[in-house]
Copies of this chain bind each other. A is one copy, B any other.
């Protein structure tokens, strides 16, 4: 009798459907034989997430997507800001993996010094705050390639060249591995790794393996302390439908 499949939900918390396709392909490329990837696009919020403001508006759509998939075994939030990760862990009935956290802890097992290369400069500080929260402040450095998220998908935008240049600069300054700091770069890791001869870690792929790991270990979010289930409380206005059920 075959083992039941591990069902991993990948949520793209921005509302750009074409980016979800890129992400889903990257996830499937590394999924184990018994893993089923289902990728969904958030139904509301910004078309791309660049900085604190977009991030805040992406969370309700993300939570909605998670609560609509109660039979998943694990979920991945496929934006490098780890948008809404703590809120998601507080209500999802399965473990939730962030692609920034997954990428850093993967890279940290194969290198001491890590360069995180993101899109626009405005994302540097939010990512530095994540890096610090995950304990990598002394090991990882965040820089920007000056490529807008949606330009990653546009031929002729010069995105690839700018990213190359930023990777080269990071290696000169002592980086031992590169983390691609945007879910929209998920399809580039393999070629870049080949080109530069160093480990290039894509967060979507890394997160798939962390999700498989947690499911395989039978572990899920602790309900003591920080992630205790929210009580049943009143909600007003149009956000009411997503309030957790008792």
Contact A220 B110 (CB under 8 A): yes
**Which residues from B are CB-within-8-Å of A146?**
none
- B15-A57 in contact (CB<8A): no
Chain B residue nearest to A126 (CB atoms) is: B226
Is there an interface contact between A199 and B176, defined as CB atoms closer than 8 Å? no
A121 contacts which of B50, B122, B225, B234 (Cβ < 8 Å)?
Answer: B225
Closest 4 CB pairs of A and B: A135-B135, A44-B237, A209-B213, A56-B87
- How many A residues face the partner with a CB closer than 8 A? 99
Residues of B with C-beta under 8 A to A174 = 121, 124, 225
Would you list which residues of chain A between 191 and 246 have a CB under 8 Å from chain B? 198-199, 201, 205-206, 209-210, 212-214, 216-228, 230-231, 233-240, 242-244
Given known contacts A51-B228, A201-B219, A220-B199, A132 and B138 CB-to-CB distance under 8 angstroms = yes
**Which single member of B42, B48, B224 contacts A198 (CB below 8 Å)?**
B224
A100 to B33 CA separation, bound complex (whole angstroms):
28
Residues of chain B with a CB closer than 8 A to A121's CB: 174, 225
Looking at the complex, which of A58-66, A159-167, A180-188 is the stretch in contact with chain B?
Answer: A58-66
A window 1-51: CB within 8 A of B? 3, 15, 30, 32-34, 42-48, 50-51
Contact of A222 among B105, B111, B213 (CB under 8 A): B111
Which residue of B has the minimal Cβ distance to A58?
B239
Residue of B nearest to A112 (CB): B226
Instruction: Considering the complex, give the chain B residue whose CB is closest to the CB of A236.
Output: B15
Q: What is the CA–CA distance of A124 and B97 in the complex, to the nearest angstrom? A: 22
Which residues of A97-131 are within 8 A (CB) of B? 97, 101-102, 105-106, 108-113, 121-122, 124-126, 129
**A87–B216 contact, CB under 8 A?**
no
**Cβ–Cβ contact A45 & B222, under 8 A:** no
Whether A230 pairs with B177 at a CB distance below 8 angstroms is no
11 A–B contacts from the bound complex (CB under 8 Å): A44-B236, A45-B239, A50-B231, A53-B90, A56-B84, A60-B60, A110-B221, A190-B218, A199-B222, A212-B212, A212-B216
- Judge whether A226 and B59 touch: CB under 8 Å: no
Considering the chains assembled together, what is the distance between the CA atoms of A240 and B209 in angstroms? 34
A233: chain B residues within 8 A (beta carbon): 46-48, 54
Contact status B210-A206, CB under 8 Å: no
